[in-house]
């Protein structure tokens, strides 16, 4: 009888525990809280079907007249995708999608690529918004779409033409985000600027100018966030011999909500990067029980280690101090680096260090750090929006900022108004002495 009673009691306790923790999870979801997965979490396996689209308007001819870095990068992209993902396909795209016999021979596609072989379809102009719409209409389920293009809006900055073009881009991507969410997924895009030798005509509207120098082009990856994350990982989308040679900049966007960080992805350093006499952390390693200050110092310096490799963001974005904000304002970030090689961050895969300062001696019990959701600075630096009669600087593209702004607008507006930063972290300080 005693054993039966113990068994019944154990079952009751198990049921109560399930109900308790289930209720807590539901409450957490109801409040819109989403905690970033830990650094060591295994990413879900994905095997998307990869569709590569090469835009072949006349402005692209200069990239393929020689054995350029463009050809090298495109060859790596095609070969690696075909080797890793089954069902990889390649098409030309301009006013429509064109599949030729040349596109079927993925192994030798780049060898046969020249201005003459690219004369397929309507190549006299580029309607980048139409191209996005065609591609995104074919980007569903387990499909990853990759566009290779110089991505120039075929409109002048007259009146509101560029603004209208950017708004059209926003609308096209918002529809793709809605479709993804209808199938219980979030949507994502990666925008990469790459540099290559260019020998041919550069077009300013209808004006052709001979150009024999380096010019930028863009590789844009689009699809459900799980598939795009997998593609980024396996394709090594970095400027490496095995990745994407010539890549200079990268920007990753997703429709995921704001992630919350806790002690599983953030720790305070107890003895490094600080001028305090002692920092006594709680058992969670993040929040602080007591700070013993050196009162001869005008400010209090301290640092946090972050493990955020699960965040859909490029390291270049994470290491840019301009992408962070801190509340209250007397607490500021002084440096962001990848030097967090200390005990507190031993279990983080690629730790990041935020060095911070509390100005003056007006200390508070809670400090909030946010990673802002904004267009990275390189986009504006690489863009111009006034037509001119001379060649632009080699790193600049016409209206690339407006195009990226259009894509960014879709992801930004798809989020709740109070959930637009990429992550938020609260650090509590119980006492200062």
On whether both 293 and 235 belong to a single domain, the answer is: no
On whether both 107 and 209 belong to a single domain, the answer is: yes
pLDDT tens digit sequence for 168-186? 999 999 999 999 999 999 9
On whether both 167 and 190 belong to a single domain, the answer is: yes
Highest mean pLDDT: which range of 9-13, 105-109, 196-200: 196-200
Q: Looking at the 3D structure of the chain, how many domains does it have?
A: 2
Residue 277 lies in a domain: yes
pLDDT tens digit sequence for 5-29? 555 555 445 544 433 433 333 333 4
Residue 13 lies in a domain: no
pLDDT tens digit sequence for 238-259? 888 788 999 999 999 999 999 9
Contacts of 307 (CB under 8 A, 6+ apart): 38, 39, 264, 265, 266, 345, 347, 348, 349, 350, 351, 352
**Angstrom distance (rounded) from CA 212 to CA 198:** 6
Q: How confident is the model at residue 371 (pLDDT cuts 50, 70, 90)?
A: very high
What percent of the chain is modeled with pLDDT above 70?
90
Residue 158 has pLDDT above 60, yes or no: no
Q: For residue 31, what pLDDT is reported?
A: 54
Q: Could you tell me the CA-to-CA distances from 300 to 200, 295, 357 in Å, in that order?
A: 58, 9, 6
Q: Work out the average pLDDT over 120-136.
A: 90
Q: For residue 140, what pLDDT is reported?
A: 83
Q: For residue 240, what pLDDT is reported?
A: 82
**Angstrom distance (rounded) from CA 193 to CA 280:** 45
Residue 210 lies in a domain: yes
Task: Tell the residue number behind the tokens 């200069």, with chain if given.
Answer: 62
**Angstrom distance (rounded) from CA 25 to CA 122:** 54
Within 88-236, residue ranges assigned H as helices are 101-104, 128-137, 161-182, 225-235
Q: Which of 105-109, 221-225, 305-309, 385-389 has the lowest mean pLDDT?
A: 385-389
Q: Which one, of 407, 414, 375, 400, lies nearest residue 167 by Cα?
A: 407
Q: For residue 15, what pLDDT is reported?
A: 42
On whether both 206 and 143 belong to a single domain, the answer is: yes
Residue 298 lies in a domain: yes
CA angle 335, 337, 341 (to 5 degrees): 125
Domain that holds residue 333: 259-373+420-428
Within 151-300, residue ranges assigned H as helices are 161-182, 225-235
pLDDT tens digit sequence for 65-74? 999 999 999 9
Contacts of 136 (CB under 8 A, 6+ apart): 145, 172, 173, 175, 176, 222
On whether both 90 and 122 belong to a single domain, the answer is: yes
Tell me if 151 sits within 8 A of 404, measured CB to CB. Answer: no
On whether both 119 and 205 belong to a single domain, the answer is: yes
Residue 36 lies in a domain: no
On whether both 282 and 401 belong to a single domain, the answer is: no
Residue 230 lies in a domain: yes
CA angle 46, 47, 48 (to 5 degrees): 105
On whether both 346 and 326 belong to a single domain, the answer is: yes
């Amino acid at each position: 009888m005693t054993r039966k009673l113990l068994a019944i009691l154990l079952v009751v306790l198990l049921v109560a525990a399930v109900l308790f923790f289930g209720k807590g999870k539901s409450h957490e979801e109801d409040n819109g809280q989403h905690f970033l997965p830990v650094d060591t979490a295994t990413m879900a396996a994905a095997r998307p079907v990869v569709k590569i689209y090469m835009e072949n308007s006349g402005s692209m001819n200069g990239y393929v007249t020689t054995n350029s870095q463009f050809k090298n990068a495109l060859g790596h992209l095609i070969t690696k995708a075909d080797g890793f993902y089954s069902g990889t396909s390649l098409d030309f795209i301009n006013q429509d999608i064109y599949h030729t016999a040349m596109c079927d021979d993925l192994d030798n596609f780049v060898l046969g690529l020249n201005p003459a072989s690219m004369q397929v379809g309507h190549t006299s102009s580029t309607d980048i918004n139409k191209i996005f719409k065609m591609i995104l209409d074919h980007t569903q389920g387990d499909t990853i779409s990759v566009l290779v293009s110089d991505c120039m809006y075929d409109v002048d900055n007259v009146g509101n033409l560029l603004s209208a073009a950017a708004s059209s881009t926003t609308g096209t991507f918002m529809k793709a985000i809605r479709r993804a969410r209808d199938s219980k997924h979030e949507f994502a895009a990666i925008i990469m600027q790459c540099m290559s030798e260019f020998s041919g005509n550069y077009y300013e509207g209808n004006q052709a100018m001979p150009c024999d120098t380096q010019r930028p082009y863009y590789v844009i990856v689009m699809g459900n966030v799980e598939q795009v994350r997998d593609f980024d990982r396996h394709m090594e989308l970095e400027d490496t011999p095995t990745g994407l040679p010539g890549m200079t900049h990268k920007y990753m966007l997703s429709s995921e909500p704001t992630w919350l960080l806790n002690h599983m992805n953030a720790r305070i350093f107890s003895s490094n990067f600080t001028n305090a006499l002692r920092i006594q952390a709680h058992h969670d390693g993040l929040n602080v029980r007591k700070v013993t200050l050196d009162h001869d110092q005008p400010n209090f310096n301290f640092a946090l280690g972050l493990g955020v490799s699960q965040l859909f963001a490029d390291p270049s974005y994470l290491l840019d101090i301009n992408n962070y904000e801190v509340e209250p304002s007397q607490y500021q970030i002084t440096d962001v680096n990848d030097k967090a090689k200390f005990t507190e961050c031993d279990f983080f895969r690629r730790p990041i260090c935020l060095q911070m300062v509390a100005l003056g001696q007006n200390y508070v019990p809670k400090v909030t750090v946010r990673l802002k959701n904004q267009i990275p600075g390189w986009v504006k630096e690489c863009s111009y929006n006034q037509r001119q009669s001379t060649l632009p600087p080699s790193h600049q593209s016409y209206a690339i900022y407006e195009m990226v702004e259009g894509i960014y607008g879709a992801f930004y507006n798809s989020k709740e108004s109070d959930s637009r930063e990429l992550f938020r972290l609260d650090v509590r300080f119980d006492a200062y002495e």
